[in-house]
Amino acid sequence: MKRTKLISFISIAAMALVSSTAGLSQGVSAATVNDTKNGGNSTATASLIKPDEGSEAANIKLTAVPDITFAEQVISGEALTIDSAKTVSDPITVVNPGQDDGWSVSVKTAGFVGTSDDIKGKLLRGAVLSFDAGTVSTDNPAAVTDEEKPTGVAIPVNETDGLITSASTNQGYGTWYHKHEVNEVHLSIPSANVAGDYQADLVWTLGNAPK
């Protein structure tokens, strides 16, 4: 994957027009010339350059991913569906300093495992964490067309990498946030599980998207 970063240089060049009226004496002051109030032209130039390929500054980065908590639930021996998380922390955040090839974020988990003493290491069998598509946004929306926006994907999270956000070629420049509200994260738990505290380790991976 090629990796780049934007560096900005700004230079301003201005030209002042001087009266060319025939017979103007050398003794005319600058104030007299400026008082003619003639129009003028100037230029502004900007250059954006890429850092050295392979440098840390050139890398696309996954800078934040969410921690998720669900409220306590009372089990009844029947399947349980939790429609909404209690908290979802940071949005999935990707910073792209000018890479053209696109990027993707995937997530997987080996499942929920017991953490309290009486069930330590015990699997929460059949439990499925899932995300809705969520909302993908940038810190500079006015500068981005719809065709340049990454896409959020609704997925169940399992032991296989599942694509949750992606930007194709010539998409996803700058900083992007894939946010999930609490009611966009769900957990289903089949029956035949026991009470206790469980935790799933979510593994997030930044990579290339399909072209």
What is the residue extent of each domain of the chain? 7-49, 60-207
pLDDT at residue 17 in the model:
33
pLDDT at residue 56 in the model:
79
pLDDT at residue 34 in the model:
54
The residue to which tokens 């809705």 are assigned:
132
CA distance 95 to 174: 6
Angle at alpha carbon of residue 159, lines to 195 and 188, rounded to 5°? 40
Which amino acid is present at 96? N
Please name the helix (run of DSSP H) or strand (run of DSSP E) that holds residue 162, with its range, or none.
strand 162-167
pTM above 0.95, yes or no: no
Task: Please provide residue 137's backbone torsions phi and psi, each rounded to the nearest 5 degrees.
Answer: -140, 170
pLDDT tens by residue, 124-171: 999 999 999 999 999 889 889 988 999 999 999 999 999 999 999 999
Residues with pLDDT less than 70, the chain: 1-37, 209-211
CA distances from 57 to 54, 68, 80, 140 (A): 8, 30, 46, 21
**Exposure of 103 by Cβ count < 10 A (0-12 exposed, 13-18 middle, 19+ buried)?**
buried
